[in-house]
């Protein structure tokens, strides 16, 4: 099995640099925010963090390709770094601390590119999570001060905690009835949003989460953290990995039921 620990160490260095840049502008009164063509916000901090990460990658891994939310794809080859400089920009620009920089390395393989390294860094929460293929998933302050992550063992929906982001996307896709039926079956629901539910699934604090519409950079890093913690991460179509334009994550024991409700089979 390939050793991805050097790439993981580099991802931590990239996250450190991004954390410094994003925290320096968090809650800044003169923060510049624009609306992109897809009507989502982008701040100067999003662009600055991605530029910083790209610059460091071009020096440290010049042969690797880079895909980022703000500046698209650059380069070709079997290795591609995937970056979301600020996942949760709407929170960031309002001063809500639930946002993170997502950094993943994907490698070409069967079924296309697959995540092999992922780092999720949420500096305003003082939290960081990471994983590498075959290495496991961890959370902590650094590689040397970390706790291994494991998903929960909850096996009944009636005992499960389900996290989501919002209701509007489910309604737009005609999946709202199944979504609401699921919320009635579980023990608890909370709308934490963005990267955080996936990390809580990996930690075993939440048992299920799902989102109806996402991009690859939203999912590449979170998916490997969930799976290396022993969980399941698929699209709503059941396809493993971050390739379906939406996501369902669980401790694995409840995954079939999660997909069943969200696809209207119950």
The per-residue DSSP string of 201-232 comes to HHHTS-SEEEESS--HHHHHHHHHHHHHTT-E
What mean pLDDT comes out for the span 150-176?
A: 94
Confidence of residue 225 (pLDDT cuts 50, 70, 90): very high
In this prediction the pTM is: 0.94
Measured between alpha carbons, how far is 216 from 34 in angstroms, rounded to an integer? Answer: 22
Tracing tokens 């709308």 back to the chain, one arrives at 191
Q: At residue 37, does pLDDT exceed 70?
A: no
Confidence of residue 245 (pLDDT cuts 50, 70, 90): very high
Measured between alpha carbons, how far is 221 from 198 in angstroms, rounded to an integer? Answer: 10
């Amino acid at each position: 099995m390939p050793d991805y620990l050097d790439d993981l160490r580099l991802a931590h260095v990239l996250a450190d640099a991004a954390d410094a840049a994003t925290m320096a502008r968090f809650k800044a009164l003169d923060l510049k925010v624009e609306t992109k063509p897809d009507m989502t916000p982008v701040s100067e901090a999003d662009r600055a963090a991605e530029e910083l990460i790209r610059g460091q990658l071009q020096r440290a891994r010049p042969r690797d390709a880079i895909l980022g939310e703000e500046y698209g794809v650059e380069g070709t080859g079997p290795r591609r770094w995937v970056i979301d400089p600020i996942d949760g920009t709407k929170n960031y620009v309002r001063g809500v601390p639930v946002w993170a920089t997502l950094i993943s390395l994907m490698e070409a393989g069967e079924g296309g590119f697959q995540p092999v390294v992922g780092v999720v860094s949420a500096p305003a929460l003082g939290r960081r999570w990471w994983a590498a293929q075959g290495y496991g998933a961890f959370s902590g302050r650094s590689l040397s001060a970390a706790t291994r992550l494991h998903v929960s063992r909850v096996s009944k929906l009636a005992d499960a905690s389900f996290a989501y982001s919002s209701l509007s996307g489910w309604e737009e896709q005609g999946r709202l009835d199944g979504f609401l039926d699921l919320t009635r079956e579980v023990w608890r629901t909370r709308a934490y949003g963005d990267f955080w539910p996936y990390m809580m699934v990996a930690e075993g604090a939440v048992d299920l989460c799902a989102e109806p519409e996402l991009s690859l950079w939203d999912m590449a890093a979170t998916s490997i953290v969930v799976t290396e913690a022993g969980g399941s991460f698929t699209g709503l179509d059941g396809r493993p990995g971050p390739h379906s334009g939406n996501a369902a994550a669980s401790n694995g024991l409840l995954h079939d039921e999660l997909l069943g409700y969200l696809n209207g089979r119950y």
